[in-house]
Structures are given as structure tokens and as C-alpha cells.
Amino acid sequence: MSAEIQDATDAQVTLVAGSGGVFDVRRDGELIFSKHHTGRFPAVGEIMQLV
């Protein structure tokens, strides 16, 4: 997913390891997707739409 974002936006992407099933995506510190809040992983292309 990080490569997809970097290729599409030339943004610098940092992956941070989590634990306990956490999967959050933040942009400039702002939470744009949370598996905890939605109860699911993002669909293909969903994160790119949010970025």
C-alpha cells in the first residue's frame, strides 16, 4: 500500500508497526482511516481516494 501511495502522489510514506489488529492510516497526522472505527480493512483503492 505504501508503494501505491508513493507512486501515485510522490508523497513520503512511513509504515509504523502496530499490534493487536490496529490498522490506521494518517495523513499529516490526521486520521483518515481506522480499522478500529470501521471494523474492516480498506477496500482496494479506498486509501488512495482518501489521500
Interatomic CA distance for residues 34 and 37, integer angstroms? 5
pLDDT tier, 9 (very low <50, low <70, confident <90, very high otherwise) = confident
- Structural domain that includes position 29: 2-50
Does the pLDDT value for residue 7 go beyond 90? no
Q: Domains in the chain: how many in total?
A: 1
SS3 14: coil
Mean pLDDT of 15-44: 88
pTM, to two decimals: 0.75
27 by Cβ neighbours in 10 Å (0-12 / 13-18 / 19+) ranks as middle
